[in-house]
Chain A
């Protein structure tokens, strides 16, 4: 290697002309042009995000309506005003992010794990501030029922989300899977808040919130497997 300033070497490299093999380019162009047809660009990101939010809300409301709206009936006005806007804001952020994940070159300034982690932390804080019943009656059996119910609803929301985003291209499948799982998990937790009448602090903080990491982890794993075995 020649000694010198890296800037000089980089500038020289930038100025040096570089062409790919013309025969290769001709082959690529011919391949692309054979049967080239017009395509419809993806809808605007806000349209896709709104579609995801509509699915998120529909899954949570339909699930809770089917199983009974016992949870929201037990919540006070202040609790409702604190929990549901937070869930909606978190869901909007996750929906916007998953849309960005499926459009290559979209701005994604924060790693997706921060989004999921920050949201979970915010939910835990709100639940911790709102609920002060620290009994743990039938903690594990009741918790497992809620976790299972939440995860099933998350899976349904994930399927709906796939329909909305099926034309996108996730260039980082693990990150995309993690965010998709987070959004789906939020549908599960929203359903539980509407349905579950158990307001014990630890039950809500552990078992309801656990739907998000379980669902996000499953999404990330799915993304990883897809990137390996496609």
Chain B
């Protein structure tokens, strides 16, 4: 990932209509964004769809980026919005069509197919959504804690608390996995 100052410059040029900057931004940000979706979704195809949808929203809302502000919280706030919308839509369709008795466990089966890494996907699968999101942003995407707080509309303290709880849960799971049978 490029430093945020580079992203800010790209974003400003994108707002000014610079196609080179827009293309560079797509290529710079899409890898981590795609991974963010993979950790939360059931298949690579869904992650691809979410990535496309996110870029569509980013494009429509590019005027809402304030020059000088960090870019990643702005992008991930939109990405979270897209993910929640997508989940609601899928849930609504599934409820209406009554094709399934129960919703599939999100990310439960993403291990092999996702490409997020078998260990990572399996490790995070049992965590609540908000904790999984925070851990992914902090540890996998290496976002600063202040930016994670901005992206998730919460305080730094709340992010730290979620990360701490996630670590406790993960250690317990790993200890259980290693323990005597």
B77 touches A28 (CB 8 A): no
In Å, the complex CA distance between A13 and B35 comes to: 10
Mark interface residues in A81-113 (1 if CB within 8 Å of B CB, else 0).
000000000000000000000111111111000
The A interface, classified by DSSP as helix, strand, loop or mixed, is: loop
B122 touches A104 (CB 8 A): no
Mark interface residues in B51-85 (1 if CB within 8 Å of A CB, else 0).
11001110101111111011011111110110001
A29 touches B26 (CB 8 A): yes
Give the A-B contact count at a CB cut-off of 8 A.
160
- In the complex with contacts A42-B64, A109-B149, A171-B78 CB distance below 8 A: yes
A39 touches B66 (CB 8 A): no
- In the complex with contacts A5-B174, A6-B174, A20-B34, A103-B64 CB distance below 8 A: yes
Sort chain A's interface into a size bin: 35 or more
B181 proximal to A (CB < 8 A): no
Mark interface residues in A16-30 (1 if CB within 8 Å of B CB, else 0).
111111001101110
- In the complex with contacts A36-B19, A36-B22, A105-B70, A10-B177 CB distance below 8 A: no
- In the complex with contacts A5-B174, A9-B119, A105-B74, A28-B52 CB distance below 8 A: yes
Closest partner residue, chain B, to A17 (CB atom): B31
CB contacts (< 8 Å) of A19 on chain B: these are 31, 34
Mark interface residues in A155-173 (1 if CB within 8 Å of B CB, else 0).
0000000000001110110
A105 touches B150 (CB 8 A): yes
In Å, the complex CA distance between A92 and B133 comes to: 32
Most buried by A among B67, B150, B178: B150
CB contacts (< 8 Å) of A104 on chain B: these are 61, 64, 73-74, 77-78, 81
In Å, the complex CA distance between A107 and B73 comes to: 9
Count of chain B residues near A, Cβ 8 A: 68
* Nearest chain B CB to A76 CB, angstrom units: 40
A106 touches B123 (CB 8 A): no
* Nearest chain A CB to B147 CB, angstrom units: 8
In Å, the complex CA distance between A27 and B51 comes to: 11
In Å, the complex CA distance between A216 and B85 comes to: 23
* Nearest chain A CB to B47 CB, angstrom units: 8
* Nearest chain A CB to B102 CB, angstrom units: 22
* Nearest chain A CB to B9 CB, angstrom units: 14
* Nearest chain A CB to B39 CB, angstrom units: 9
CB contacts (< 8 Å) of B31 on chain A: these are 17-20
CB contacts (< 8 Å) of B33 on chain A: these are 20
In Å, the complex CA distance between A17 and B116 comes to: 10
Most buried by B among A3, A28, A31, A38: A28
A6 touches B17 (CB 8 A): no
In Å, the complex CA distance between A171 and B64 comes to: 11
Q: Which B residues contact A (CB, under 8 angstroms)?
A: 15-17, 19, 22-23, 26-27, 30-35, 48, 51-52, 55-57, 59, 61-67, 69-70, 72-78, 80-81, 85, 88, 92, 115-117, 119-120, 122-123, 135, 139-142, 149-151, 153-156, 167, 170-171, 173-174, 177-178
9 contacting pairs across A/B (C-beta < 8 A): A3-B174, A18-B35, A29-B23, A42-B66, A105-B69, A105-B151, A172-B81, A227-B85, A227-B88
Q: Which A residues contact B (CB, under 8 angstroms)?
A: 1-7, 9-14, 16-21, 24-25, 27-29, 31-33, 36-42, 44-45, 102-110, 167-169, 171-172, 175, 227-228
